[in-house]
Amino acid sequence: MSDNSAPAEKPETGTQSKAARPMTRIQRAKRRAILEAALNVFSVEGFRGATLDRIAAEAGLSKPNLLYYYPSKEAIHVELLSRLLSDWLEPLDKLDREGDPIPEILAYVHRKLDLAQEFPRESRLFANEIIRGAPFIHSALETELREQVEDIAGVFQGWMDAGRIAQMDPVHLIFSIWSLTQHYADFSTQVRAVRGSDDAFDGAADHLDLLFTRLLQVR
């Protein structure tokens, strides 16, 4: 039920601020509702097109009520992106450095494809942020993401040097995996229109298995 008619909560006036106090169950539920609504709006309208009024309406809250939890559109956007970046990095962490290289890389491809299929709004949110020049997460890209990519690229290079997979630029291999998996979420409308199918991911896993297996095999 919408609480548009309810007054916004008032900030704490005592010695302990609302930020320092643990949130109640209702407060946690409202924050989740705001983030879910914002994800819907940002993934469709982009950052510039999204408004606090639209997000509040989507969440079933009044604008003053929303502003009690988040002071600005930017604050909501940053929290969504921070959570998303953590989720996006996780599949690389699961790669077994001691495993069989081609199955390990294919498993990573599948994890990335599964993420794109299960979280298409998040994928589009991330893509929109990057297209805008990553104003909110640029420092994270230059630190956390770069460090992890360099680490995994080192693993790939070690496999190449040992003759276990074909030689190529390991960083560009990672870029190729990202682009070929996230395409099905970020450009799902185009994929469905061209294929004449309601499922943008239909056949994608088998195709990527074939593509990367052939790319990685030593000849």
In angstroms, rounded to a whole number, what is the distance separating the alpha carbons of residues 114 and 108? 10
* Residue pLDDT, tens place only, 101-122: 999 999 999 999 999 999 998 8
In angstroms, rounded to a whole number, what is the distance separating the alpha carbons of residues 216 and 107? 13
Reading phi first (left if > 0) and then psi (alpha if -120 to 50, else beta), residue 102 is in alpha
Tell me the CA end-to-end span of the chain in Å, nearest whole number.
62
* Residue pLDDT, tens place only, 27-48: 899 999 999 999 999 988 888 8
Cα-based distances in Å from 190 to 15, 19, 153, 198, 201:
55, 43, 31, 11, 12
pLDDT at 44: 87
In angstroms, rounded to a whole number, what is the distance separating the alpha carbons of residues 67 and 217? 54
The CATH number of domain 1-71 is 1.10.10.60: yes
pLDDT tops 50 at residue 14: no
Residue 205 amino acid letter: A
* Residue pLDDT, tens place only, 149-181: 999 999 999 999 999 999 999 999 999 999 999
> What number does CATH give the domain 80-216?
1.10.357.10
Task: Give start-end residues of each CATH 1.10.357.10 domain in the chain.
Answer: 80-216
Task: Give start-end residues of each CATH 1.10.10.60 domain in the chain.
Answer: 1-71
Report the predicted TM-score, pTM, of the whole model to 2 decimal places: 0.79
